[in-house]
Amino acid sequence: MTLTDEQRTEIRETANEVRRDVIRMVHAAGCGHPGGPLGMADFMSTLFLAHLKLTRSNLHAADRDRFILGNGHTCAGYYALLAQKGLIPRDELLRFRKLGSPLQGHPHRNAELGIDFSTGSLGNSLSVASGMALAAKLNGWSTRVYSTSSDGESQEGQIWEAATSAAHYGLANLTVIVDFNNIQIDGVMREVMNVRDLREKYAAFGWHAVDVDGHDIDAVDAALCAAAAETERPSAIIAETVIGKGVSFMENQSGWHGVAPNDEQAELALAELA
């Protein structure tokens, strides 16, 4: 199924709102990670609005879809999307990273807010997503399990253990979207530690694997539809993105991986995202 014009508009508007929230949240916290979530906003909005079945009404349904943010440091955008879905109260967003807030610096599982799993230590989540997918399969549920990952996280060995076992057990209900922006903390991924062609790697591990432009919401939607149509293999969508997307001075800069904008920078960023 292709996106309707209405859906396309809604996803674009949501992605922009998410970007604005990310700037506001990280600015209010005075620390955090703006770059990643700005880059992920387009594919995350496509996933959350057009594919992931998670709403207020099915929140507590055992067989509903699950989502794990494997690259947990990018949670500002995830929280903003959960707020868009009415699962996180909007005024909570500005308490991000503050003492006592449920919106922790890295996601902490929270059944009421729809945060399905605790993450933050890279490498762990694809295994957990596989376990969830395995349980859903065991129960005969139509649950789909989505996880994000990243080029940096793909350096962790456990990712490839999960890739092996998920294919071995034929977890067709599992989809990972890899935020591939070629940036990690210490700089350009291909210079720090080159993970090479992730589509080829996942394919070699027995996955249905595709490359997409992570900012092309139609392409992302098509890839998610194809993943849902798989019956034998888990799916990997390698989403090429630009870190900091939408804020000119943050784009492609590893320096914006984990630094908060100051007042002036936040204002500039919000003006660009108006």
Ligand X SMILES: Cc1ncc(C[n+]2csc(CCOP(=O)(O)OP(=O)(O)O)c2C)c(N)n1
Residues engaged in binding ligand X (CB under 6 A): 35-36, 71, 73-74, 120-123, 150-153, 181, 183-185, 243, 257
DSSP state of 110: B
Which of another protein, ligand X, none does 32 bind, CB closer than 5 to 8 A by kind? another protein
Shorter beta-carbon distance to another protein: residue 11 or 76:
76
* By the rule CB under 8 A, 142 interacts with another protein: no
Cβ 166 to ligand X shortest distance, Å? 20
- What is the residue whose two structure tokens read 């922790």? 104
Phi-psi sector, 100: left (phi>0), alpha (psi -120 to 50), beta: left
Shorter beta-carbon distance to ligand X: residue 166 or 189:
189
Cβ 33 to another protein shortest distance, Å? 10
Which of 217, 261, 265 lies closest to 241, judged by CA? Answer: 217
- Contacts of residue 69, Cβ cutoff 8 Å, sequence gap at least 6: 75, 78, 107, 117, 119, 125, 147, 148
* By the rule CB under 8 A, 157 interacts with another protein: yes
130 neighbors 101 (Cβ within 8 angstroms) = no
Shorter beta-carbon distance to another protein: residue 19 or 97:
97
Q: Show the CA angle centred on residue 114, arms to residues 44 and 66, nearest 5°.
A: 65
Residues in the chain: 274
Shorter beta-carbon distance to ligand X: residue 36 or 107:
36
Shorter beta-carbon distance to another protein: residue 41 or 195:
195
- Which 3 state secondary structure label does DSSP give 16? helix
Site for another protein in 160-219 (CB under 8 A): 184-186, 192-193, 195
* By the rule CB under 8 A, 31 interacts with another protein: yes
Cβ 130 to ligand X shortest distance, Å? 18
CB atoms within 10 A of CB 187: 13
Name the CA dihedral angle for 38, 150, 232, 7, rounded to a multiple of 10 degrees.
Answer: 0
Cβ 225 to another protein shortest distance, Å? 31
DSSP state of 115: B
Cβ 126 to another protein shortest distance, Å? 13
Which of ligand X, another protein, none does 243 bind, CB closer than 5 to 8 A by kind? ligand X
Q: Which of 35, 72, 114, 246 binds another protein (CB under 8 A)?
A: 72
* Rounded CA separation 25/260 (Å): 9
Site for another protein in 80-139 (CB under 8 A): 97-101, 104-106, 108, 118-123
Cβ 142 to ligand X shortest distance, Å? 30
Cα-atom radius of gyration of the chain, to the nearest Å? Answer: 17
* Rounded CA separation 163/181 (Å): 20
Interacting residue ranges for another protein, rule: CB under 8 A = 29, 31-32, 72, 97-101, 104-106, 108, 118-123, 152-153, 155-157, 184-186, 192-193, 195
